[in-house]
Amino acid sequence: MGDPTSSIFSEIYLQYLESTKIFGILLKCHVIGYLWYVDDVLIVNKIEATNIREVLDSFNNITPTMTFTMEEVNNRMNFLDITISKIYHKISFNVYRKRTATGIFIPNDSCHSPERKLAAIRYLNKPSFSITYEQNKQKKRIRQNRTSNT
């Protein structure tokens, strides 16, 4: 942590573990999907084909320096910036924002360079920031209703 090369070394190490251990576990346990980003792993499985506790135990037996935990969810979970929901055998996705996001950027009286302060202002003025995902979905629904009614 903190060293610029640590993310590179962790990436190399995890790719090594994937090729030597993890893919074997995924095949043995009939896992449908496996995604990861930094320290977040998403495993997609069929309840009737996969014993998820066996997958977790197998992951934790790979190396003593890493510990995997499992978040048990009922039909809804957050992974990175996405909320994944399952309703009546249908999967939907939505944008997820962590509650820890404060919305505070660089204060004007900070010692940051003017370039960094201006970058934050430019970001806030982007149309994609000022119009939220839900507003875009609502506008799309309105447009679809207009075209279907004409």
Q: What confidence tens digit (pLDDT) does each residue in 93-117 have?
A: 887 777 765 666 677 787 878 887 7
Predicted confidence at residue 24, as pLDDT, reads 92
Same domain, 25 and 83: no
Same domain, 1 and 59: yes
Same domain, 13 and 65: yes
For the whole prediction, is pTM greater than 0.85? no
Same domain, 78 and 29: no
Neighbours of 45 (CB within 10 A): 17
Q: What whole-number distance in Å separates Cα of residue 67 and Cα of residue 110?
A: 39
**At CA 38, angle to CA 36 and CA 40, rounded to 5?**
50
Same domain, 2 and 61: yes
- Residue written as token pair 């994944």: 84
pLDDT at 41 exceeding the cut of 80: yes
Same domain, 51 and 85: no
Please give the backbone phi and psi of residue 130, each rounded to the nearest 5 degrees, phi first.
-75, -20
Q: What whole-number distance in Å separates Cα of residue 28 and Cα of residue 22?
A: 10
Q: How many domains does the chain have?
A: 3
Range of 30's domain? Answer: 1-70
Same domain, 33 and 79: no
pLDDT band, residue 122 (cuts 50/70/90): confident
Same domain, 107 and 81: no
Same domain, 62 and 114: no
Same domain, 124 and 138: yes
Same domain, 3 and 38: yes
Predicted confidence at residue 130, as pLDDT, reads 47
Same domain, 42 and 77: no
